[in-house]
Amino acid sequence: MFEMEERNIDGVRLRTWKAAPPTLRSVLDLSPGHGDADYVVYGDERTTFAAHYRRVATLARRLHEDLGVRKGYGLAWEVPMPAPRELDALGDAFRPYRSVAAWYCWRAVELYARAAKSALTG
């Protein structure tokens, strides 16, 4: 379980856990299996794996639906606003910087709203 190995990651030799999940998303997907076990304990506060999973899933959904990431992607790349599932696939091109790209897409909505009328803003 705690066996280590050397891997070449982006041209750099690093010692890594051999059985480690490949992505942070993979780690998150394992959370529901731990249910009500403690995920984080900080002082008197406790967060279970299940509660953590719900919070992260809610944030991801809100980024897709409520916070304008899809609309911003459409504005920034001059394409129709993608559906949530389409955006997942489009985001793969930005790995491992998807959260940074999502932030820029979210900000694009506000930035284009303040911009003068153009082909992009209508």
DSSP H or E run through 41 = strand 38-42
Give pLDDT tens digits for 32-66: 999 999 999 999 999 999 999 999 888 877 776 76
**Distance between CA atoms of 30 and 27, rounded to whole angstroms?**
5
**Distance between CA atoms of 106 and 122, rounded to whole angstroms?**
18
- Report pTM: 0.51
Going from N- to C-terminal start, the domains of the chain cover: 22-62, 67-122
Tokens representing 28?
A: 């998150």
